[in-house]
Amino acid sequence: MNYKNFLVYAALFLGLYATIPVYARDQIEFSDFTWNVRSTVKPEGPMGNFFGGLGTSVDLLADGALRLSIVNQKGTWYAAEVWTTKALGYGTYTFRVRTPLSQLHPDVTLALFTYSRSSFAHNREIDIEFSAWGMDKEALRGQYVIQPYDAPGHLYTFPASAFTGLSTQQFTWLSDRIEFASWLGYGERPFEGDPRLLYSWVFSNSKDIPSPRAPIHINLYLFNGEAPEHDSGHKEGSLDIVLDGFEFIPAKK
């Protein structure tokens, strides 16, 4: 199966997330927001993963950073997910990622996304994702998505190889457009043409932009919920992600 087919396959699973119940037994405080921590007792979407919860696959480091991990406990592999306790609205969503995304294990997906439990407007889902969807590390890519992913012009992809250190992932959700950007390091977004700004994209089909009534989610999960492979070193990579911060700036009214 080629990368394009894998991309559609993976996006379809994320789009089916709405049919899966989500349980939150704990909460954490990270970057001045309260986040629910997902914990499940059976495989659930996306892609049939168990979610380990606080102290298993989700924890806060001593410096306040958030770590999401793929972990094996007694033969069961657990994924990780957190989401804000409220919708934040129109504005700029910024994620500071400490882990070099070029080193992500090819069987692991990192997703930074909005998601409403209501099925209206495709769950109001906007995604920044990094994964190789189970293929070799050379296939590791990032993507910006406005659900439905298979509508023309709703998907923008790019290689992840340049994300060799700290990075910032960002989208600005407005009524008439959604602006995405990914750059090396932290701080303010670089200007266009600055080599630190690796990728950017504007989605301007206003009729397909959902209203801003969806919490923000962060998850880390396994392709098909299966144990990560280690094949002669070709699939070695990070099974956890550390985020130094999340910031939300409301749009001007």
Per-residue confidence (pLDDT) for residue 121, from 0 to 100: 58
Topology of the domain comprising 3-250: Jelly Rolls (2.60.120)
Residue (of 102, 129, 89, 75) closest to 210 by Cα position = 89
Q: What's the rounded Cα separation, in Å, for the pair 242 and 95?
A: 11
Alpha helices, DSSP H, located in 25-167: none
How far apart CA 212 and CA 97 sit, in angstroms, is 24
Over residues 212-230, mean pLDDT: 94
Query: Cα separation of 119 and 150, whole Å?
Result: 17
- What pLDDT shows up at residue 213? 87
SS3 label, residue 10 = helix
| Structural domain boundaries in the chain | 3-250
Does residue 221 have a pLDDT over 50?
yes
> Could you identify the residue written with the tokens 């409220």?
86
Pick from 155, 160, 136, 139: nearest CA to 241: 160
pLDDT tens-place string over residues 57-115 = 999 999 999 999 999 999 999 999 999 999 999 999 999 999 999 999 999 999 999 99
pTM here is 0.90
Q: What is the dihedral of CA 119, 120, 123, 125, to 10 degrees?
A: 160
What average pLDDT does range 145-165 have in this prediction?
Answer: 95
Local confidence band at 223 (pLDDT 50, 70, 90 cut-offs): very high
